[in-house]
Amino acid sequence: MTRYFPFTEHKRLVVSVDAFNAFNRPNVDEVNSVYGVADFCGAVPVHYKDAATLAVQAGGLACAPGGPPTPNPLFGGPRTMFNPRQFQFAAKLEF
């Protein structure tokens, strides 16, 4: 948002506010897709709590006769996040 405050005919103060991630929602950037072995079977999870992640966590995928090995406890969870809520304030005098 920007607001102008005129002082004279040729002078004014410009005040602005910028908001990034104003609602402070968790914006997941990357998902941990390492299940626990080098041979990953099935779809690789791409997004946080997508269908592939939920299927593997429910035990719906089996690669070998004995089923998948013990999963990584961080599998399917967020690995990196985008920035939290940020505000930027600015004021400039134009003449």
pTM exceeds 0.75 for this model: no
The predicted-structure confidence for 45-75, as pLDDT tens digits, reads as follows: 777 778 877 877 776 655 555 555 667 788 8
Q: How far apart are CA 32 and CA 41, in angstroms?
A: 15
Q: How far apart are CA 58 and CA 28, in angstroms?
A: 22
The predicted-structure confidence for 9-26, as pLDDT tens digits, reads as follows: 999 999 999 999 989 888
DSSP, res 57: H
Provide the domain limits for residue 84. 2-94
Query: What torsion do the CA atoms of 56, 61, 63, 69 make, to the nearest 10 degrees?
Result: 40
Total of domains in the chain: 1
